[in-house]
Each structure stands twice: as C-alpha cells, then as structure tokens.
Amino acid sequence: MQANVYTISSPQNVYLDGEIQYVQQQNFMQDTTKGTIDTINVTDKQQVKKGQALFTYKNDTVIQQYDNLSDQLKNLRSTYKQIQQQLTDISKAQQQVQQAQIDSSVNTTTTTNTTKSSLQSQLDQNNQQQASIKKQLDSIKNNRYTTITAPFDGNISLTAITNTDTNKSILTLTDPKMQVVSNVSEKDVLKLKTGQTVKITVYGTTQDINGTIRSIGTESIQASITQGSTSTASATQSSSISSANVSYYPVYIDIDKQYGFHPGFHVQGTTTAENQLPKIPISSVLNENSKNYVWVVNNSKLKKVEVTTEKLNDTYMQVKSGVNFGDKIISKPTSSMKEGATINATTTEN
C-alpha cells in the first residue's frame, strides 16, 4: 500500500547564553552608622560557617550615651533609697507618739502625714524616671557593639582598611560553588521550568557540562542590561535588547562540574521547549465515535493509535497524548487502511 508519511519533527531548542558565576558572593562595606571597626574575627582565605562572627563595630557615641544614662540610673537608685529611709524613719517616729499627748500633737501628726505624702510622690516620680532610663538603656545597649555574622558558608577575602577609611570594603564572603546565570528573552522564558535539564558548552574550554534549572526570575532585567550593569548578556544581546525592546529574565542553573573553568567564563546552554507539543497535520486525524485516531507507521506496518489533540492553526493540531516527537504517521489516511497493513511510503513530510 502506497501512502504519504509524515514524520513528527523534533521539539524546538531553546538556547541560553550565560556566564559562570558564584552561587553566592557578598561584599561587606563599612557602615559608619554602626561606628568604627573594633575587631575583625577572621583571616584572609579562611573558611567560615553560616552564623560565624566576621567583624565587630564599636560605636563610641552610643557607648558614651549608655554610660551617661547608667550614671543617671545609679543616682536615681541612690536617691530612691534615701527617700525610702526617710519614710521609714518618719513611720517609726509616728509609732512612738503617745495617744495622751497634748492637743497640739494633732497638728504635728498632720504635718508628718503631709511630709510622708510628699516623699511618696517623690518616690513615684523617681520610679517613673528609672523606668524611662531603663527603656532607653535597653534600646541602645546592643548598638554599642555590633557583630556582623556570615549569612552563608564561604571563603573570606580580606581588604586592607585603616581607621580613616569610610565607605570602604571590609571583606568579601564567597560561596565557592559555581552556577550558570543566563538571561532568557520573553519569547523563550515561558518554555522553561525549574528542574529542566540543560546541556551547557563552556566557550573557553569547549567542554560540555550538565545543568539543571534551579530557579527562573520573574522580574525583567532589561533596564539593568541597557544601562551597563553587571549581567550575563553578551554585548550582542545587550545591543539587541536595546534596539528590539525585548525584556530578558534571569535563569539560574546548577551545574554538575565545578572545575576546569572560572567565574566569568561564558557558556551556551541548550534545552528543549518544556511546553512544546508534537505537531501533526489536521488531515492525519480520523474521528470515530467522538474519538480521534491517527495511523502510526512502525517498521512499515500500520497501527491505529488514539490521540488527544487541540487545534494549533488551520493546518496543524497539537497532540497532548498518543504520539511523540519522531513518530511517523499517515498524513492523509484512507478508508481502506487496516491494522497491520504494510505501507510503502511514497512521500515523507515533516
């Protein structure tokens, strides 16, 4: 039997031009609002763990303020004790007053009560002042010295600084693990998903490595590229972005090798469009009992296969299930075709 055979074309490739970068790298700049550098707790090229102390600021202004408030609190506490002692002494004196004193004793008692009331008012005021100072002390005590810790595991690179340096780099913390960062256009980014495998060629060495997409950014980086900020787009890409006004999105790719190249090496990744479906001619689809079928050619034999399809355009259907890329099907089936019949392809289309 003669028939036209259609070969379902392979999925379209997506190309990801990018650059090898460290997964994490943080430069610590001197922050004068925290004071001056008091202690550096690490050495150059030292390996540190997340949470480990890197360096400590000393804020002399806050320390002086804390000391002044502490002195005020100490004086208030001393005054409080003195007032308490006066109240105790007056209470003892009142207990010694005899009920049979002369009438003027009433006036003496009234005067004593007035004095006690005044002293109690002073105690209350003293308590309020102490509470206010304690609150101030609590709010600034941790600002006297500020210890900066490592936000992730990594290696230290120290920068030489002096006491007069301001807004200078203190050290750099680098996670030595490397990744590929690629900028993918809005035309291709929706064809990718996390967990997708990528074949990567390193230009500087021509070696191939395997990668897996770890995350895909959702914010356009068009502005940062066109303004010349750090990016993984090549000069050609940057030019095309500016001229074509196409947005690009960062894609972060884990790689299976960590040697044979350095951060800054450029690469090209290749993967297939994740959401791409096999495409077949509308003329190849048979409808029987509300189900769609195609004739698949395998070893020159016909096999009827049910397919789930959706219309792509006036010429082609997309296949959700039933056949796959590379399969061969009859493009224009006839009613005389039967299961297991031998086919001689007169034309191969794709």
Contacts of 261 (CB under 8 A, 6+ apart): 20, 178, 202, 204, 205, 207
pLDDT at 161: 60
Q: Are residues 89 and 131 in the same domain?
A: yes
pLDDT at 221: 84
CA-nearest of 15, 2, 7, 58 to 33 is: 58
Q: Domain count of the chain? A: 4
Rg of the chain over Cα atoms, rounded to whole angstroms, equals 40
pLDDT at 140: 95
Beta strands in 69-168 (DSSP E): 145-149, 154-158
pLDDT at 293: 96
> What CATH number does the domain containing 195 carry?
2.40.30.170
Identify whether 238 is part of a domain. no
Identify whether 130 is part of a domain. yes
- Name the residue type at position 150: A
Average pLDDT, 10 consecutive residues per value, the chain (350 residues): 87 93 96 94 96 97 96 95 90 65 52 82 94 96 96 92 67 97 93 94 92 95 40 40 74 96 95 87 93 93 94 91 93 91 73
Q: Are residues 261 and 320 in the same domain?
A: no
pLDDT at 52: 98
Q: Are residues 184 and 271 in the same domain?
A: yes
Contacts of 144 (CB under 8 A, 6+ apart): 58, 59, 62, 63, 66
Q: Which two tokens stand for residue 88?
A: 């105790």
Q: Are residues 64 and 53 in the same domain?
A: no
Partnered with residue 107 across adjacent β-strands are: none
Neighbours of 272 (CB within 10 A): 17
Identify whether 222 is part of a domain. yes
Q: Are residues 122 and 158 in the same domain?
A: no
pLDDT at 294: 95
Q: Are residues 247 and 191 in the same domain?
A: yes
Identify whether 4 is part of a domain. no
> Which residues span the domain enclosing 15?
11-23+177-226+243-275
Q: Are residues 186 and 271 in the same domain?
A: yes
Identify whether 198 is part of a domain. yes
Instruction: Please give the C-alpha separations between residue 191 and each of 19, 213, 271, in angstroms, as whole numbers.
Output: 20, 12, 10
Q: Are residues 167 and 41 in the same domain?
A: yes
Q: Are residues 192 and 267 in the same domain?
A: yes
pLDDT at 348: 61
Question: What's CA 325's distance to the chain center, in Å?
Answer: 37
pLDDT at 276: 84
